[in-house]
Amino acid sequence: MAVPVTAVILAAGKGQRLRPLSDAVPKMLAPVAGQPIIARVMEQIAAAGVADFVVVAHEGDRRLAQALRQTPFPVALALQRERLGMAHALLQARDAAKGRHLLVASCDNLHTVGHMQAFLRLHLDGGCDATLTAWRLPPEEMGRSSTLGLDGDRVTAIIEKPRPEQMISNVASVPPFLFRREILEACARVPLSGRGEYELQTAVAAWIGEGRVVRALFTPARMHLTTIDDLLAINAHYLDALPPDRLASGPGIRGPVLILEGATVGQGCRLGPHVVVGRRAVVGAGCEISRSVVLDGARVPPGTVAAGSAFFQTGE
C-alpha cells in the first residue's frame, strides 16, 4: 500500500573515491547485477510501499535521465547546479516532492527491505518529526559521517563530520532519513558551513534543539558504494540472490555468473564465481576472470587473468 511519502534520492555527488571508474560512469549508474545502483535503491524503497520519487542530480549528469526512463517507477528529476551539500540538494526537490513526508536517500546506500518497512512504520506510526538510520562505524571513519547522541531511540544530539574531540559516540547517521515536509523550511535557514556546504545535519540539530521528536533506528545490514571493492561486493550479494534461470551455465562457468544481452564471451574462457558481463561487452578468448564486473561495452583482452577487477570503457 502506498504511503504519503515522497522519496528524494540524492545523486549529485562526484564519487571521487570510486575513481577511475566514476570518471567513466557516474556513481549513481554504477552497475549492480545488470541495473544501475540508483535503480536498486528505488527497488528497495518501492518494495516498502513508497510510490513517488524525485532524483536530485547535478546538471552535468546527462545519462541519468535516460537511465531513469528505463525504470518502472514514476520519477521526477531535479537539478542541483552547484554541489553545495545535502540541505541545498533537498531544497532543489521542493517543487517536485509532493509528499507530506520526505524519505531522503542516497544513490549509494543499500539496506534491507525489512529495514525500510520498519523505518517507515516507526516514523509514520510513532509521531516522529524526523527518523534517522543509525549504523555503528569504526572511530577512524566517523570524521566522514556524523555522530549521534542517543537516549534509547531518541536522538539528543548530532554533529556532522566531527573532530575527534567532538565525538559523541561511534553511532553514525547514514541515509536514508525520514522527515516531515517542514524540514524544507529548516533547510532554508541553514547557514553555509566552514566546509562550504549547507548541511542537512544542521537542520536536524536545530529541530532537536526545538524539542521536536527525532528518533533513530539501527539498520541490520548496509551496503555502501564507496570503492571498486564495494562495487564487487554489492554485485556478489545480488548475484547470490538471483534465481538459477537468470544465470549463465555451461563449460567454463563457475557460478554465479550473469552474462547480459549482447555480450560476447570468447572460446576457452573460465568465468566465476561472482562475475557480471555487461551488455555489448566483449571478453576475449582464453580469459580467466573471477569476482569481477565487466561494464556495458567494455572489452577484456584475450588471455586476461583477473580477480577482483572492474573493466570499463574509457572516454565514455
Grid look-up 516507526 returns 122
| DSSP β-bridge partners for residue 6 | 52, 102
HSE at residue 75, side-chain half, CA atoms within 13 A, is 27
In the prediction, which pLDDT does 315 show?
46
* Torsion angle (degrees, nearest 10) of CA 279, 282, 283, 285: 140
Residue 22: Cβ within 10 Å count: 20
Grid look-up 567454463 returns 252
User: For 195-232, how does the pLDDT look when each residue is reduced to its tens digit (9 = 90+)?
Assistant: 999 999 999 999 999 999 999 999 999 999 999 999 99
Q: How many Å apart are CA 50 and CA 116, to the nearest integer?
A: 10
The H or E element that residue 171 is part of is strand 171-180
Distances (CA, A) of 171 to 87, 137, 148: 21, 6, 6
Average pLDDT over residues 68-83: 90
- In this prediction the pTM is 0.92
pLDDT-based confidence at residue 60 (cuts at 50, 70, 90) = low
Average pLDDT of the chain to the nearest whole number? 93
User: For 96-155, how does the pLDDT look when each residue is reduced to its tens digit (9 = 90+)?
Assistant: 999 999 999 999 999 999 999 999 999 999 999 999 999 999 988 888 889 999 999 999
Contact between 264 and 209 under an 8 Å Cβ cutoff? The reply is no
185 is written with which cell numbers? 523550511
User: For 256-315, how does the pLDDT look when each residue is reduced to its tens digit (9 = 90+)?
Assistant: 999 999 999 999 999 999 999 999 999 999 999 999 999 999 999 999 999 999 998 764
Q: With 0-12 CB in 10 A as exposed, 13-18 as middle and 19+ as buried, what is 20?
A: exposed
* Torsion angle (degrees, nearest 10) of CA 97, 103, 108, 111: -150
Quote the percentage of the chain above a pLDDT of 90.
Answer: 80
Q: How many Å apart are CA 215 and CA 308, to the nearest integer?
A: 39
Angle between helices 62-69 and 37-47 (to 10 degrees): 40
Q: How many Å apart are CA 11 and CA 107, to the nearest integer?
A: 5
Grid look-up 557516474 returns 26
Quote the percentage of the chain above a pLDDT of 70.
Answer: 97
Q: Which domains are delineated in the chain?
A: 5-224 (3.90.550.10), 228-311 (2.160.10)
In the prediction, which pLDDT does 61 show?
65
Smallest Cα–Cα separation from 35: which of 95, 86, 107? 107
Instruction: Kindly tell me the number of DSSP H helices and DSSP E strands found in the chain.
Output: 8, 23
Handedness of CA 303, 309, 312, 314 (dihedral sign): negative
Distances (CA, A) of 111 to 48, 105, 140, 174, 233: 11, 11, 22, 11, 14
**Long-range pairs, 265-268, Cβ under 8 A, ≥24:** 266/302
Higher pLDDT, 145 or 243: 243
Q: Is 221 helix (H, G, I), strand (E, B) or coil?
A: coil
Smallest Cα–Cα separation from 198: which of 21, 10, 5, 1? 10
Eight-state DSSP code of residue 176: E
Tell me phi and psi for residue 188, to 5 degrees.
Answer: -65, -20
111 is written with which cell numbers? 539496506
Residue 141: Cβ within 10 Å count: 10
Smallest Cα–Cα separation from 196: which of 88, 55, 107? 88
In the prediction, which pLDDT does 13 show?
77
